[in-house]
A and B are shown apart, each in its own frame.
Chain A
Amino acid sequence: MAHQRVALWAAEPDLDDDINDTDVDIPIPMPSSTNEMYDDPNLQLDEGSLQAMQQHIAQQAAFAQVPDVVKRFIVHFHQAVLDNNLQEVTLAYESGWTRLTEKYYAKTEWPEAETIAPLVNDDQIFLILYRELYYRHVYSRLQPNVDDRFHSYENSCELFNYLLNSDGPVSLSLPANWLWDIIDEFIYQFQSFSLFRSRPASKTDDELTMLGSEGGAQAWSSYSVLNVLYSLIQKSRANEWLKARAEGKTDEEIEEIVGEYGTKPLYRMLGYFSIIGLLRVHVLLGDFTLALKVMENVGLGQKAPFTAPTAVHVSTAYHAGICYFMLRRIPDAARVFTGVLNWVMRARQYHTRSYQYDQINKTADRMYALLALCHVLAPTRLDDNVMNIVRERYGDQMGRMGRGEEGLSTFEELFLYACPKFICANSPPYDDPVALASMLIPPTPTSPSSQNPSVVLGDPTQRHLRTASSHFISLTPVSSLKSLLKLYTSLDAQKLTGFLDTSGAGVDEEEVLSWMMVMKNAGRCVGRVTTGGTAANGEKDNDDGSRPTESLLGGEWMSISDLNFVIDQNMVHIAESTVGRRYAGWFIRNSEHAARVLDGIKASPLPPRTAPTQVQKKSADVPKGEGAPRTTGQKVAWGGVKVA
């Protein structure tokens, strides 16, 4: 139990004196790189060395300000990384870093990598990892400036360069959580940079110069980000590995398939996480089919091939669900969201310490919002537990959205809240001040700048919003139509038109018929046929549609509406389907829960001597708790332990 042991650097400050400080007080050697930086022949030699000296002094001063606990932490952290001691690295990464951040760096940066370099013998690899953490902290707690954005990109490049272009696989081992965070953060920073870049109006001159430079055009380019992810996938042969696993190959065969990189956990996990990273990048760029296509070998809902951090599951489900949502495959989207939300609800107690915890909660809430949207677009019966939370959080909005066109603003609001911040693949023309200036002129309908296609298409998020809301608008007549049709088994189309034309708005029969066709189309959609029991209701097999579809993009036609109708010339015939009560899910959940309780009890040590009274007390308390699961099995379980 590594987490119960207090590491040296986590000790209370008053104990610090007892621990020897010798390895901390290293005099700072002149970093060799500093000299090179000032190798400018135009500079006077004296001036150059003077500046180097000043730099040196400034660094020493900065070093002196670093608290001793932090220094010790860094030394210890470095040693753990050097030793490839996964347990210690995990501990330092998950609790040490977080604790010290809260204590010393809640509102400021961690010390610069150059400052702490002497502590780690200038170990460049460790310094890259340190900067990875340093910049991540800047992005999450502070406001990254333009320098941070460029430098974090350079550092990511150095890291991936080291991993991909060393001679053979590197011997580093890092915990799964960290590896996921590296990939996740890489994409987050890409997204953040793209958003930063896409707003030329609010840039300072400095920022404009940097973005306009050659390096500015290269930094965080879509091609470079995709290149990193694809390279990691290819180097680790993650797809081949997943395929081989699915085919049930033996460990030896798999080892041969994945090669020298893929056998290392570091590369294997990075490769796997990169696939999920690609899913996210494609979603951000608005390519929803390609996003699902790259996930072909990973699949959805299956168990991850190793214990992946919760954040991985959440990110996968969120982005895959968005894809299905944009593909108008609402039941598939709802199923993906429901699956993971149920899982998050149950796993909540296990991941509170993760740095990703807040992020997971935020994403989960977005998924609840998306479920509310799904429910409005295609009301299907979903898992009760999840649906209750959706109603609790978004009940008002769902009510408003159900009221036809006036619900549009609510729909848009909720979509904007729940969707990812989509990005544009390319930079505005920072290298061309004239073109840039022309973009900044607010377009007026008459001016020639309306030639700019952005006027038509808008920024990516607006564009996706527009496609989603146009679908919502087309469905607005459906809800009132539905409530009317529910009252009849057959109804003349003209009479129906009369009912709908209450306000005398001039609704004619043709219009009503087009609504009916829209409604019919909305009541059927393509969805993945699953073998699991959570499939959407009323799933109907077409000719030979009972075969499970492997591909995430594949699917069968299914009917998703409980109200069905058909038109015979002018007569509408209506049939309503009902869902019988469901018991299985409840029964299975509770059986499994009972089994877990039983296992838990059996696994715990025999009670000490005082235990009998406690047990009695406990079982006496139980009947008072309303709705508590019956625990009469408990005594038997204890008895079982005694026998064993």
Chain B
Amino acid sequence: MAATAAWLAPPSRTELIENLVSGVDRYNPSNVGILEDYLYHQIRSEEYDCLANLAILKLYQFNPDLFNPDVVINILLKALTAEPFPDFNLCISLLDDRPPNSTLDEPDPLPTLLPLVMNLYNLLHQCRFSAFWVLYRSDELEVIRENYTVECAGFEDAIREVAARSVKVTFTRISSERLGTYVDLSGPELEAWVAKQRWSFDSSTGVVSIPPNPDNQIESVVIQEHINLPQLSKVISHTVQVR
């Protein structure tokens, strides 16, 4: 499986959605409801489909009257959990400038919430996981927690996965105390989480060992060049012609 296979086409994507994502029907504004429903399905069932969510933002880009700020915030929060893939930035790239919104009954929450979500993203991108949790649990972010992530099943676990991805490639062993601050867990909860990662926890020393993977095993190598046949095709075909 290519590293991007699940990103390009998650196994949970239905044929209907696949047709919308890959066909020209993605431009049809009347399909926005189907995609939005799919987003809320992702939120409920811990699934994630970046390209389908980008298709929603695309429809918003072309049809500003469809724009739904709650959907946008949910998409961005989902994209946070994809780090170190660039999904978050891809979503931001599609958030076009819009004329001040007059069609909504309530004031548009996006201008106040977007900077908060961006701060969260920056902390994750800079691998400042402890700081992420501090900010995430702060009063300032209550509005995000109460209105959005509470609905998003497994959001915190998904963020822990982000941390786990960075830890896994960087460490062979890490103190449980430090790991705890990265994933905002301690005690038995942390032990359970470590076990779920299939990492091992030594309770006498308080050290978590991470099994070897291609990235946390290092060796000095001298890289030799490889020559593939196609590179030589011109030279070889020429020698044949000469004869």
Contacts and interface: CB of A to CB of B under 8 A. Distances in A.
B188 interface: no
A554 B9 CA distance: 10
A605 B84 CA distance: 62
A459 interface: yes
Contact of A452 (B61, B111, B125): B111
A533 B227 contact: yes
| Residue of A464, A474, A566 ringed by the most chain B CB atoms within 10 A | A566
Given A435-B102, A514-B126, A514-B127, 13 more contacts: A326-B90, A426-B97, A429-B99, A453-B95, A457-B92, A520-B169, A520-B215, A533-B227, A549-B2, A551-B8, A579-B223, A580-B224, A592-B238
A517 B111 contact: no
B98 to A, nearest CB: 6
A517 B172 contact: no
Given A425-B62, A451-B107, A578 B223 contact: yes
Interface stretch (A205-213, A222-230, A371-379): A222-230
A428 interface: yes
Given A568-B171, A595-B235, A514 B27 contact: no
5 tightest Cβ-Cβ pairs between the two chains A and B: A517-B127, A286-B93, A575-B218, A467-B89, A514-B127
B127 A556 contact: no
A592 B4 CA distance: 37
B138 interface: no
Contacts of B90: 288-289, 326-327
B132 to A, nearest CB: 10
Contacts of A429: 99
A383 B130 CA distance: 41
Contact of B2 (A328, A425, A555, A573): A555
Contact of A591 (B3, B92, B235): B235
Contacts of B228: 531-533
A450 interface: yes
A287 B54 contact: yes
Contacts of A452: 100, 111
Contacts of A435: 99-100, 102
A545 B128 CA distance: 31
A579 B223 CA distance: 5
B207 interface: yes
Contacts of B95: 453, 457, 463
A19 to B, nearest CB: 48
Given A435-B102, A566-B218, A592-B235, A526 B62 contact: no
Interface residues of A, number: 93
26 contacts: A223-B27, A285-B94, A286-B94, A287-B94, A289-B50, A326-B89, A426-B99, A435-B100, A451-B111, A453-B98, A453-B101, A453-B110, A453-B111, A457-B95, A463-B95, A510-B130, A514-B129, A518-B127, A537-B223, A542-B3, A557-B214, A566-B172, A567-B172, A577-B221, A584-B225, A595-B234
A556 B170 contact: no
Interface string A593-611: 0010010000000000000
Contact of B93 (A326, A432, A592): A326
B147 interface: no
A588 B4 CA distance: 33
A542 B89 CA distance: 26
Interface in A252-310: 285-290, 293
B230 A531 contact: yes
Contacts of A464: 93
Interface string B192-217: 00000000000000010000001111
Interface string A517-550: 1101100101000011100011010101101010
A460 B167 CA distance: 34
Contacts of B175: 569
A554 B2 CA distance: 7
B220 interface: yes
Interface in B59-82: 61-62, 64
B142 interface: no
Interface string A419-438: 00000111011001001001
Contacts of A288: 90, 93
Contacts of A544: 1
